[in-house]
Amino acid sequence: MVQLVTRVGDDLAEAVDELIEAGVAESRSDAVRQALSALVEQHRRAQIGRQILDGYLRTPQTEEEIAWADDATRRMITEEPW
C-alpha cells in the first residue's frame, strides 16, 4: 500500500474532523481515501460521458431512430391509466 503525505489548511482539517465526529469517516486517512476515490470516480465518469458524446457526434441518430423513440414514448404515455 502506498502512503501519501499532504498538508491542508486548518479550516479544512477542522472540517474533516467534524466529518469524523459525525461518523462520515472513521479517521482523517479514511476521509482522504473517500475523497480521492470520489475524485477518481468523478473523473472516470466524465471521461466515459465524453466518449459517449463523441460517439454520438461521430454517428448521430438518424431521423428514423428518433421517430421510433418518439413513437414508442407516445404509446407508453397513451397506455398509462392516469
Give the residue from 46, 63, 43, 44 showing the smallest Cα distance to 54.
46
DSSP 8-state assignment for residue 9? -
* pLDDT category of residue 81 using cuts at 50, 70 and 90: confident
Under the banding of pLDDT at 50, 70 and 90, the label for residue 29 is very high
**pLDDT number for residue 79:** 83
Cα dihedral 63, 68, 69, 73, rounded to 10, equals: 140
Has residue 22 been placed in a domain?
A: yes
pTM of this prediction?
Answer: 0.71
Mean pLDDT, rounded, of the chain: 95
Q: What percent of the chain has pLDDT over 90?
A: 90
* Spatial distance between the Cα atoms of 51 and 55, rounded to a whole number of angstroms: 6
In a domain, 58, yes or no: yes
Flag whether 1 is in a domain: no
Name the residue range of residue 38's domain: 10-79
Residue 5 lies in a domain: no
Q: Which amino acid is at 25?
A: A
Tally of structural domains, the chain: 1
Q: Is it the case that residue 82 has pLDDT exceeding 90? A: no
